[in-house]
Structure 1
Amino acid sequence: MKPSMLPTTVLIVEDTATTRLILRQGLTQAGYQVIATENGYQAILAFQQHSVDLVLLDVNMPVMDGFECCEALRHSEKGRHIPIIMLTGRDDHESINRAFELGASDFITKPINLRLLLQRVRYGLRDSCREQALLQSQAEQRRLIEQLSEAQAQLLQSEKLASIGLLAAGVAHEINNPLSCIKANMQTLKYYIDNLFTLQHSMSELLGQEQLQHQARQLEQTLEWAEIRQDSPELLQDVQEGIDRIQTIISGLINLSDTGNSITKNSTQLEEVIQEVLTPFDDMPLFQGTIQTHLCNPALEVNIDKADLLQILHSLLANAMDAAGPCANLDIITYREGQTGCVEIQDNGPGIPDKHLQRIFDPFFTTKPPGKGTGLGLSLVYQILKRAEGKIEACNRQEGGACFKVKLPLVSLN
């Protein structure tokens, strides 16, 4: 809707000079600002260059007639909702129907009754104001609905995490105690087996008699001692890795269950932490890709503990490398949005299937093969950011690959 302090502008499109003059004088005396043109082509140029509130459009004109001009105006973004009143000496139904089909708001036949025309102009502008107000109201409603949907999604995610967190805390507690016992016994068992191998080696050297050595070798073959000696370290290592993996899952479950506690917030320089988190990746022999950084200047001070930010960025970088493979090309971009510091991690992998986009932050959700992922990494990132009053978004890039965007509150200078 046009501010009340600005004059309402009417665009006249009329090829007859006398009629154009009469319309200009009548509208000017009524308080309107007037732009007058002679044909449809001039009208379109004037419409693009000026702010127009209503168009009075003659039908029969050279260069471009009123029907063509009306259709062109309606196809433009500015002219979609502008009132257009057609002026013509024709009063046949075919012309009237065609005018309305092409988007005319009203239709006046010549000779023109100026008083009637001014009434039609006022009504057209009033209806236009109502339509614009309705469009603004609809746009506001759509914005509120989007905000409500986002809030509902966040609430659902929070409730889901809270419910799973309570279950996870109980499961983690029940598993952790026997697991600690198993781990301690494994260390003792490894110590005993190492001593047995040492004893067997020493006994073999002490058995000097050939007959005793022969009997010892037969016993070793019967017990498959060589296979035991060869396989035992690998078996123990597999068991140890399994225990470590279970402990990692339990640690994740405990962190996931910590939904109600706030985290420590410190002033942390985002770009400095990014440089630090990249250091271990430089020494990875299997990674043959590239990591490009595009960092904000001046540096951004965000309100989160440094250790938490390191965990977030490390998890996202590891995920990006897993998705894009050993030859991944990754981009890390930082920038400011109002009072928020943003960091994007982009990869050139296959992207995220649409059906997974709404679930990737759910606990235990993973697309990796069994045994390759716990499905807790991104849910922990989501949980840490939630407690830090931050956000994370995931999307697919038009040029291919995925993008994770982290938003964190900037440190206030006051």
Structure 2
Amino acid sequence: MAQKQSVKKVVLAYSGGLDTSIILKWLTEEYDCEVIAFSADLGQGEELDHVPEKAKKTGASACHILDLKEEFTRDFVFPMFRANTIYEGRYFLGTSIARPLISKAQMDIAAKEGADAVSHGATGKGNDQVRFELAYYHFDPAIKVIAPWREWDLKSRSALEAYAKKHGIPVPTSKKFPWSSDRNLLHISFEGDILENPWAEAPEEMYVLTARPEDAPDQPEYVEIEFEKGDPVAVNGERLSPANLLAKLNELGGKHGIGRVDLMENRYVGMKSRGVYETPGGTILEEAHRAVESITMDREVMHLRDSLVPRYAEMIYNGYWFSPERKVLQALIDESQQTVNGKARVKLYKGHCRVVGRDSATDSLFNVDFATFEADDVYDQADAEGFIKLNALRMRIAAIQRQSKK
């Protein structure tokens, strides 16, 4: 183990839960330093209730809670969704995309408070330690980083509870939901407990944001989403701020049981893990965005952008949001969205969302005169013969060569 750093003041990413409360106390004891608690409000709702009170009771000299919902949606979620970014074909990156903003805000507070260190509650087995710390070093290459899970000897749940009781930190007498979760405006994730058995179905009581699809309304609901330069700006004709728009789609999608995903994912540190996710609004948003792109986006531009999405998704999943390669790729993505203006109509019904209409008054590339199956005066179907023969030339030459060998 490396020699312990000398620290005077540390800003801790603090949720108010048992683990980060223990970390707060542990930092004051092990490092004999001042601890400032920080929580980012990204849409957790009631989870942030009483956080300042808990933090100060546990030994924090101050507690900062910042409302970052609009910045989160506008500057992190929407840029990612301009690329229809999904990790390994399934995961909407709800946890991954939150970490760079949390880190950015945490480092802002560290600078204002004159702190010489920051700390987080991510374990040494997960992705979040990488995401947090890559961002920290982007803003201050000399910052001291304390990752308690990589240092302390509290290796079990019973050890954590014993430490908490010793220091007067309240320990839940019965944990109703034994799995861990992480929530923000884009999604909620679940890991651990029964989910560590890949064969076991996730229990229904786990889900928070979505109705059981079988219990969703028996009548479908239609939703219109309008886009400007690839970003959603209105739902059913009502213009909304980014955070309010995503919250509205969460409400609509949740009511119809949309957005549940159960997957095995490949962590950056090398292991496979199972996660269950609810992303109701994001699922609707991605479906609608693709629909508007389909009528406004040039074919070759779309294919080029799509070929880069797996790499872009890996950058976000692995914690490289502030990297130069992500910024360069974002510039290409944003340029591709300049003509993505229009609206999509989506049908919501019992766990499914499906595009049933798309339109663009200003940038549609669909021309019925060319595409129609009826008679037209703009397309000479005989031209297709030469097109086909030219594209078949290399295969025709190869066939002639094979025949000559027989």
TM-score, structure 2 length as denominator?
A: 0.18
Higher-Rg structure is: 1
Considering fraction of residues, name the structure with more helix: 1
| Structure 1 length-normalised TM | 0.18
Structure showing greater relative contact order (alpha-carbon pairs closer than 8 Å, 6 or more residues apart): 2
